[in-house]
A = this chain, B = another copy of it.
Amino acid sequence: MQPLRPAPTWSVETWLNTPHPLTLEGLRGRVILLGSFQMLCPGCVQVGLPQLAKAYELFPRDQVTVVGLHTVFEHHSAMTEVALRAFVHEYRLSFPIGIDRPNSPLPETMARYDLQGTPSVILIDRQGRLRLKRLGHVDDLWLGAQIGALLTEPLTPPIASEATVCTPEGCTL
């Protein structure tokens, strides 16, 4: 039985919409909904980012932290920091967004999480462990259930293997 592994640390130099850098350590005790996106990715604009924005509105912020991660792996000269700032302004995104540190072929955090593309949805539990990783759109009702489960589970689940787990092949409730 696969033990749950700690979520990889983030490699972010620049943060938007937050006065202080966010870290996994600093967010311990909260459920983290991390959304990987690119500002010129249509699926991100149409469904991924609106889902993050809605979660940011719906959940108490001391319980669920919503974080956007700008993971640029193409069109680098188009998706610059200045372009992202204009995008965030025009789309009125107010949740914290970190710019993943550029690297080739994938930015650093994206590589550490072994993400396959954008948008990707990641959930990290209150103990800092990776619990969900999904490429593409995740239905609101299902994602809500994952978040609700992570909010409710005891900090030391008696049997880790009964908790929600997630692999590249999918996730169990």
In terms of DSSP, what is the predominant structure of the interface of chain A? helix
Q: How far is the CA of A54 from the CA of B141 in the complex (A)?
A: 8
Segment at the interface with B among A7-15, A17-25, A38-46, A105-113? A38-46
Q: How far is the CA of A117 from the CA of B37 in the complex (A)?
A: 28
A79 within 8 A of B: yes
A167 within 8 A of B: no
Is the beta-carbon distance between A143 and B142 smaller than 8 angstroms? no
A153 within 8 A of B: yes
Q: Which residue of B51, B83, B148 contacts A149 across the interface (Cβ within 8 Å)?
A: B148
Q: How far is the CA of A90 from the CA of B83 in the complex (A)?
A: 16
Q: How far is the CA of A147 from the CA of B144 in the complex (A)?
A: 8
Which residues of A does B touch, CB under 8 Å?
40-42, 45, 51, 54-55, 58-60, 63, 74-75, 77-80, 82-83, 85-87, 89-91, 139-154, 173
